[in-house]
Amino acid sequence: MSMQTASAPAAYEGFSAAAIAGEWREGRGERVGADLDPYSGETLLELKLANAADLDDAFQAAREAQRDWARRPPAARAAVMRAAADVMGARKQEVVDWLVHESGGTVAKAELEWGLVRSVLWEAASMPHHVEGRIMPSDIPGKESRVYRRPAGVVAVISPWNFPLQLSNRSVAPALAVGNAVVLKPASDTPVTGGLLLAKIFEEAGLPDGLLNVVVGSGGEIGDAIVEHPIARVLSFTGSTQVGRDIVGKAGIKKLSLELGGNGPLVVLHDADLELAVDAAVFGSFFHQGQICMSANRAIVDAAAHDEFVVRFIERVRALQPGDPSDPQTDIGPVINRSQLEAIEDKLARARDEGASQLIGGQPGGPSGLLLPPHVLLGANDVATAREEVFGPVITIVAARDEARALALANDTEYGLSSAVFTRDVERGVEFALSVDAGMTHVNDSPINDDANTAFGGEGASGIGRFGGRWAVEEFTTEHWVSVQHQRRRFPI
C-alpha cells in the first residue's frame, strides 16, 4: 500500500510493536495477530499480542506519568493537541490509506474520518482551559466552600473497528487534554488505525512517554483485565450492547461511558421533501456499508408517501457502486470480516422467513468474498432486520399508517441512539423529535452525526454517558470539595 507522497514525511514504521509503558515493544502473549485487508484479504502486518502482564505494565506506567502531566499548565497540554492536529494534516494521505486498507472504508469515508479526528484534536486543544471550579454558598459563618475540578487519573479506552481512529481519538484526545493518562485497547481487526497510528501521531506531537499506552490483544486475553483493572478510574467503551452489559457487571467502582448498539429509525412524514429524505436515507443506510452505530437501520415512512419514497429510494440504491474501497468511485466496500458477514446474512435470512420482501440484494463477492452489495427490504417492524441492529449494508422500509403510528414504531425498540425525522414543517419535526426515545434526533438530516463539534450518546440499550463537546470535560474529570473555615467556630458537641 502506498503510504507517502513527495511532500509528505517519511511513513511511520514499526507497527509490529505496541506503545506500552513508555516504549515500543512486542506483546508477551503467546498468540500472533494477523492484520488483514478486508477487501483483498492480504496480510498488512503481523504482531505479537499482549497479555495481562503487558496491560498491567501499561496501567502502572500511565499512573506514574499522569501525575506530572496533570501538573503541567493548560497551555502545555493544549500545545500537544494542536501539534497532533498539525501531524494529522501533514500525514493526511498516510492516514487515509491506512483507514481504507485496514478498515475497508471507501476513500470518502476515510477522508471524512480523517477530518473528524483532526477537528476533535483542535477542539481538545481548547479543553484544558475549560476545566473550571466553583464557589458554593455556605450557611456557616466564615466558611468558604470551594469545588476544584481535576483529572480523573487513568482512563481506559476500548474502541471498535468501524470508525477506529475517530472512535479511539474522541476519548483519547479529551482525556489527555484535561490531564489524564490513557490505556487504549483497539479492536483486533484494526490495531493500527484504532491505536498504534494514534500513538505515533501523539509521539510525534511531543506527548511525554507513558501517557498513551496502546495494548493490542484479544478480548479473551485482556478484555476482562482492562475492564476490571483497579488503576482505571474511567472506562470509555464503544461497541455492542451485549458486551456493554457484561462490562457493567465487571467494571467495579469506576465511571463508565458506554456507547453501545443502535437501531436508528429514519422517519418520513407525509409532507417530507422526498428528494432530501431519500438522499439522507441512502447516506444514512449505506455509508461505510452500514457499519456505523448511528446508521439508519429502518426507514419508517407514512403511507401517504411510502410508494413514491420506495421507487425513488430503489433508483438511488441501484446506482451505488460496490467495489475496491481504494477506488474513489466506489460507494460500497467490504464488511470487516467473515463473522460479521455471516451475522448479516443470518439476519437477512430470518427476515425473509418472517415475511419481509427483498427488493434489492445479491451475493457477496470481491477478492476476499466480503463485498456484500446493498440490500433493501420491505417488512414489518418486527422482522429481524428491523428488530435487530444489522451493522451492514441493509435497510428495512416499514410502512406507517399515520404520524402517530410512525412515532410508535420508531420507539418500538430497546435501543435509543440516533434517529431522524423528515417534514417540511420544522417545528412539527422538532415536536416529533422530542417524543422519540433517543439520545439524538435530527430534523431533515441523516441520523449519522458527522459533525465533530457536537456531543452525542444514547439512551436505554444504546449506552450511558455523552461523548464530545463540553461533556468530555465532565466525563474525564472529577470534583474535589475543599472547605476553608476563615474564623473560629463552635461545634455542636
Which residues are identified as catalytic?
259, 293
Q: Which three cell numbers stand for residue 457?
A: 450518546
- Contacts with 98 (C-beta within 8 Å, 6 or more apart), sequence order: 1, 3, 192, 193, 197
What is the grid cell recorded at 351?
427476515
Helices (H), 104-161: 107-126
CB atoms within 10 A of CB 59: 22
Identify which of 318, 319, 299 has the alpha carbon closest to the alpha carbon of residue 309. Answer: 299
DSSP secondary structure code for residue 467 in this structure: B
Q: How far apart are CA 331 and CA 396, in angstroms?
A: 19
Residues 42/240, Cβ–Cβ less than 8 Å: no
E strands, 198-240, are 212-214, 232-238
Question: Of 167, 199, 190, which Cα lies nearest the Cα of 62?
Answer: 199
- Contact in structure between 362 and 368 (CB atoms under 8 Å): no
**Strand ranges across the sheet with 134-136:** 134-136, 143-151, 477-485
The DSSP annotation for 287-356 comes to GGGG-STTSEEEEEEEHHHHHHHHHHHHHHHHT--BS-TTSTT-SB---S-HHHHHHHHHHHHHHHHTTP
Residues 6+ away with beta carbon under 8 Å from 317: 282, 286, 360, 374, 376
